[in-house]
Structure formats: structure tokens, C-alpha cells
Amino acid sequence: MASTDIRDWLPGRHSIRESIPIPQDFKKDVYKINVAILDPELMKPAIHMEMKGERDDLLYTIGEIEIR
């Protein structure tokens, strides 16, 4: 598994596997999946990544998930 410390990353593709618990009462719908690298002090998106899906707020839409 790739290091989660971005200072260890080199150019190229990287993969990280995470589990996200979803509450039973979560509204059934289709949700966009957004990712960002956060400033650890402000806990806000802070890094421009060279990838598709960039939004004005430095979040990157990488896909969708349907909750049924």
C-alpha cells in the first residue's frame, strides 16, 4: 500500500484504500465523490493536483456513488 504521507509520493499513479461507514438512515441518492489534500492546520483544501475534476474550491470530483 502507498504511503499516506504525501512527502513520500513520487510522480505517477497512487492508490489508497479506505472504508467509509455509512449510517443506516443515510438518504438514498446519488452522491459525487470529492477528494482533496488538506492544509493540516486549517483543515481546508490547499493543494492543486494535476488531475481532472478540479473545482474552484480545490476539491476534485473523482466519481459518484449510489446509496440504495
Per-residue pLDDT of 17-66, as tens digits, reads: 888 888 889 899 999 999 998 888 999 999 888 888 889 999 999 999 99
Task: Say which residue the cell 438518504 belongs to.
Answer: 27
- Closest to 37 measured CA to CA, from 2, 1, 4, 3: 4
1: in domain:
no
- How many independent structural domains does the chain possess? 1
3: in domain:
no
- Which of the pair, 38 or 8, is modelled with greater confidence? 38
Q: How confident is the model at residue 9 (pLDDT cuts 50, 70, 90)?
A: confident
Q: Residue 15: its pLDDT value, please?
A: 76
14: in domain:
no
52: in domain:
yes
Domain span holding position 36? 22-67
Q: Residue 58: its pLDDT value, please?
A: 93
Alpha carbon 48 to chain centroid, angstroms: 13
